[in-house]
A and B are shown apart, each in its own frame.
Chain A
Amino acid sequence: MMKTKKYIFILIAFLFSAVSMFVSAQTSTTPLSTSGDTVQTTSITQAENAKSGTAFIEESLVNFVEGMGFANLNWQTIVMIFISCVLLYLAIVKQFEPLLLLPIAFGMLLTNLPLAGLYNPELFADGHVHWDMFANGAGLLDYLYLGVKLGIYPCLIFIGVGAMTDFGPMLANPKSLLLGAAAQFGIFATYLGAIALGFLPKEAASIGIIGGADGPTAIYLTTRLAPDLLGPIAVAAYSYMALVPVIQPPIMRALTTKKERAIKMKQLRIVSKKEKIIFPIFATAFVSLLLPPAAPLIGCLMVGNLMKESGVVERLSKTVQNELMNITTIFLGITVGATATADAFLNIKTLEILTIGIIAFSFGTSGGVLLAKFMNLFTKEKVNPLIGSAGVSAVPMAARVSQVVGQETDPGNFLLMHAMGPNVAGVIGSAVAAGLMLTMLS
């Protein structure tokens, strides 16, 4: 067995050296220029011929070994590969937001494989796309990353989100929009916290948007304001969104009494089709006129919703909900994961972002619950404060959490549809907040 292996190895080495000799002979005999270089070429050929076959084998093998990724591994890349494997484990085994976490983790794995050259951060250095450098050999993920860099993927995702969203519960109870706004408190509180920790205002705004619990919005804003932090921010946003059922309930219980949690809300009215059609058109025009930088996000969200509600473009609606959404999710996930290179990810900033991110979520949840309690001081029809927590987007997970926590107190209390109002309002709220940040900081 050992002898066979030895012979196979010798055969491979021989073939490899033969190919190398052939290639080098071809290269050296090719005239480099018509005049002075010919003399140099001839001397190179003579020198090459003078080398023995063993020297070629050695050189080829050394080149081969040096060209291997294994030889270029360092502790940073090993740690990053390990982190990507942990994230893959969380996505596959624990099923934490697997639709996004799996491609993100795999993108992270790909980008940290030495010499693979799939993603080159220098092409996007200083917040600009260096188109001239693309001609010198950009990797596959560099081309795909253009969709993130140019703000295409988050908007396409928003079209799909819009087509899958029912604004009916929110229109049946328009006050729930205020709960969606209150949950954005987390974004601005975190912005302050990040500034206090020494982050630049643009970086602080990008970190704060994690509190909006809206992946596409976080990615859109971060690529515009602090592209260097995209990897850690995306990982933090999607990880915490998956952890909403763990993060939110203790805060909700701490801020409410048992009596408040048991409040039963009046059944929602049926919203007419006319209202559902007017809403996306009006909301787009209003928000875009108020905050023009929010137009791409709000516009895409609402066009998707209009496709669904109008009922006249069933095929388009189905396509954006399924095919377009899925394809964009794949590209977005892999490329966002690819930005998590060892240099960008393995630093103290990442730890700070992860810590501030969870605080952002907590503040957002608290903001929604507290505003619902405040509203109860003035309104005749009481609002269950638990639906306030759904104001952080994370659709529909946050609404489900409201339902589950509500049923712990009273199993006959069904809050899901009531919580969907603030939940979808949170998507609009975080897009408005992102537009505001862009207006003020870019």
Chain B
Amino acid sequence: MNILVISTLGDMLLGSAIGISVVFIALACLVIIFEFIQRMSINASKKRMLKAGKKDHEVVHTSGDDVVAISVALHLFLNSVHDEESNILTIKHNDKRYSPWSSKIYGLNNFQR
């Protein structure tokens, strides 16, 4: 099947034309299938909306400016929530908090005489 192993200009063009056609056909098949799945998905959501008592699927068109404003606000909010770490690695002495769980003062052996 060495279509692209060619010798003449005509063969060369034919090989390339077949190549780009196959890529197009492969992706066009995916387009057709996912257009179909898309329609099914939209119909299913419409049915769900009708069952829920709403008359029709209400499509709200938001302008690009609004979408960008919301995205930036979300981005800023989520960034402010995230802990900013210094990225500096140092050996830092960490004082242990006092914990009496293993303290000898409260040990049972204290009562042995």
Contact = CB atoms under 8 A, between A and B. Distances in A.
Interface of A: 171, 174-175, 177-178, 180-182, 184-185, 187-189, 191-192, 195, 201, 205, 264, 266-267, 269, 272, 274-275, 278-279, 282-283, 286-287, 290-291, 412-414, 425, 428-429, 432-433, 436-437, 439-441
Interface stretch (B8-16, B78-86, B88-96, B99-107): B8-16
A192 B67 contact: no
7 contacts: A195-B6, A275-B37, A290-B26, A412-B65, A432-B27, A433-B19, A440-B3
A171 B36 CA distance: 11
A112 B32 CA distance: 51
Given A274-B41, A286-B30, A440-B2, 17 more contacts: A171-B38, A175-B31, A177-B27, A188-B20, A191-B16, A201-B5, A201-B6, A267-B67, A272-B41, A275-B37, A413-B64, A429-B27, A433-B19, A440-B15, A440-B19, A441-B2, A441-B5
Interface of B: 1-6, 12-13, 15-17, 19-20, 22-24, 26-31, 33-35, 37-38, 41-42, 45, 61-62, 64-65, 67-68
A412 to B, nearest CB: 6
Q: Would you call the interface of chain B mostly helix, strand, loop, or mixed? A: helix
Given A278-B37, A439-B1, A287 B26 contact: yes
Contacts of A266: 61
B60 to A, nearest CB: 9
A178 B27 CA distance: 6
Contacts, number: 106
Contacts of A275: 34, 37-38, 41
B85 to A, nearest CB: 15
Given A171-B38, A414-B68, A437 B33 contact: no
A188 B5 CA distance: 13
Given A177-B31, A205-B4, A188 B16 contact: yes
A267 B73 CA distance: 19
Contact of A174 (B19, B31, B65): B31
A414 B65 CA distance: 8
Contacts of A185: 20
Contacts of A432: 22-23, 26-27
B36 to A, nearest CB: 9
Contacts of B37: 275, 278
A192 B38 contact: no
A85 B88 CA distance: 29
Contact of A436 (B19, B30, B31): B19
Contacts of A291: 22, 26
A431 to B, nearest CB: 10
Nearest to B15: A440
Given A174-B35, A440-B15, A264 B64 contact: yes
Contacts of A182: 24
A191 B19 contact: yes
A181 B24 contact: yes
Given A171-B38, A174-B34, A286-B30, A192 B5 contact: no
Nearest to B40: A275
A257 B28 CA distance: 27
Contact of B27 (A180, A412, A439, A441): A180
